Amino acid sequence: MSLLAVKSLNLHHGLLHAVRDLSLDVSEGEIVALVGANGAGKTTLLRAIAGAHRPSSGSISFGGVDITRLPAHRRVNMGIALVPEGRRLFTQMTVEENLLLGRMSGRTGNWTVDKVLETFPNLAARRSARAGTLSGGEQQATAIGRALMSNPSLLLLDELSLGLSPIAVDRLYESLRTLMQSGTTIVLVEQDLGRAMQVATRIVCMLEGRVVLEAPAANLAREQVTEAYFGLAPHRVPA
């Protein structure tokens, strides 16, 4: 049984049909990379899974439970954590205070402030610094750490490397390597196609709200993904 099952999902922004009849299954332990041009519907899909965007139709199940109409805080309690585009930190609060907010879900697990700082060692010296004074990479690490503090079963990462320098992205992915190898289920939106293909077990390419390419990353050539990305060859590749 899939950990996450999205069935015939339709999402709108007013009159804009952002996601169109989309179905997606994610198994426990998978790392699924959502790729596609701006406006493809990737962020809207993640927000819908997290409970921040109400579907027009279709269903979302998590662990076999229909969560389509559950509010976002109930989904966090069940084990879904979203790191949103733009990080959304409390800039006047310290790194540690931002991290501790993640514990409000009440879920038990192994994640503590010290474990987050061990995973992201560049934050250790900034533990008492206000989040607004951090670099972009440090802010992203704090946002991911806050999500991990809720001890999620499913981690949603939106635009992981957006606005970061190549050095900051390298450091971020190096810190996440252990997490990605630990069996944590991750769905990530990543504009860096090469990076996505390196870390993901499966690539899902979206175009105008639809899935146009889906296959294990190991079965895909970059050219196939690029063609689907720009709508030159919309199709699904067999697993």
pLDDT in tens, the chain (239 residues): 689 999 999 999 999 999 999 999 999 999 999 999 999 999 999 999 999 999 999 999 999 999 999 999 999 999 999 999 877 899 999 999 999 999 988 788 889 999 999 999 999 999 999 999 999 999 999 999 999 999 999 999 998 888 888 888 888 888 888 788 778 899 999 988 988 999 999 999 999 999 999 999 999 999 999 999 888 754 554 44
The pTM for the full model equals 0.91
How far is Cα 105 from Cα 42, in angstroms, rounded to an integer?
A: 25
55 and 9 Cβ atoms separated by less than 8 Å: yes
Question: Residue ranges of the domains in the chain?
Answer: 4-229
- Considering the domain delimited by 4-229, tell me its CATH architecture: 3-Layer(aba) Sandwich (3.40)
**Distance of CA 88 to CAs 24, 39, 67, 139, Å?**
27, 21, 24, 9
